Amino acid sequence: MKFLKIIFFLFLIPFSLSAQHLEGGIFLGSSTYYGDLDPGDLHLDGTHFGYGLMLKYNVNDYVSIRGSVLRGQFSGDDARNSDESIQQRNLSFRSSVTEFSVIPEFNILGFNPYDRIFSPYVFGGIAVFRFNPEADLDGQTYKLQPYTTEGQGLPGRPTRYDLTEFAVPFGAGIKLSFTEYWNISFEIGYRVTFTDYIDDVSTTYVDRDELIAWNSEISADLANKTSELTPNSDPVNIPGAPRGNPNKNDRYVFTGVSITYNFLDGFGSKRYGCPTNF
């Protein structure tokens, strides 16, 4: 988290010194995860509050570059899936997420707070995000990555996944300048990631005894929770059976409204010069 803050403020310095038209503001909306544990419907149960801060440099009426820090929550639960076979898998997770991004925006009609006050826009950029999936077992909460629930590190198995990953954000929105200094926009931003472990689920089940020897009994219990649905039953052991889908990485979406303030410029005219409204 400290590393992301340092990068963000270093990113802001050159814009603060040289930009002719800056915007700064807040994002309020939602965060939604898509992956092996999503219910496959409208995701209402898995949609959470998202929020953040952003600073935007307007290069001209058609191109803007923004830096932002967004926070949200992800969750998934097989119990919410309409497919009974997936319900029997009985896995679940939740995770906070923090994202730092640098994203160019392209205003289709042109946009400024004077005479082009409305425009749809599209965007695409690069992001770094931090996640840390966790789940409950016997009334306790466990961070899942250290328990290597899919035998990460064993011969022939994937290596332990990182909790900081890259993503490619892209999407579209509409923006409106409702005064000379204030703007509002609504956007839907889809994130393609390079990990299939936001939910700690990707490949196949590991032999229970092998997982216990490699990590712990807690690891084996977290890896296969099918027996929880049948009280007093023995733990299920199905090595090699599909646990997730390794052919499709996890994704996520931030959807919401941004409200920004224009730091307009001087030198005898509001439209040119250096920022004066800090």
Question: 66 exposed, middle or buried (CB, 10 Å; 0-12, 13-18, 19+)?
Answer: buried
**CATH class belonging to 2-133+159-200+251-263:** mainly beta
- What's the pTM value of the predicted model, to 2 decimals? 0.88
- pLDDT tens, per residue, the chain with 278 residues: 554 554 445 444 444 444 368 999 999 999 999 999 998 777 788 899 999 999 999 999 999 999 999 999 999 999 999 899 999 999 999 999 999 999 999 999 999 998 999 999 999 999 999 999 999 999 999 999 999 999 999 999 999 999 999 999 999 999 999 999 999 999 999 999 999 999 999 999 999 999 999 999 999 999 999 999 998 899 999 999 999 999 999 999 999 999 999 987 533 334 444 444 44
Length of the chain: 278
Say what the pLDDT of residue 167 is.
98
Say what the pLDDT of residue 112 is.
92
Taking phi first (over 0 means left), then psi (-120 to 50 degrees means alpha), and beta for anything else, what does residue 119 get? beta
Query: Using CA atoms, how far apart are residues 53 and 68, in angstroms rounded to an integer?
Result: 6
Q: Which two tokens stand for residue 271?
A: 């439209």
* Domain ranges (residues) in the chain: 2-133+159-200+251-263
Say what the pLDDT of residue 41 is.
74
Q: Which residue shows structure tokens 């000379």?
A: 180
Q: Find the DSSP H helices in 52-107.
A: 84-89
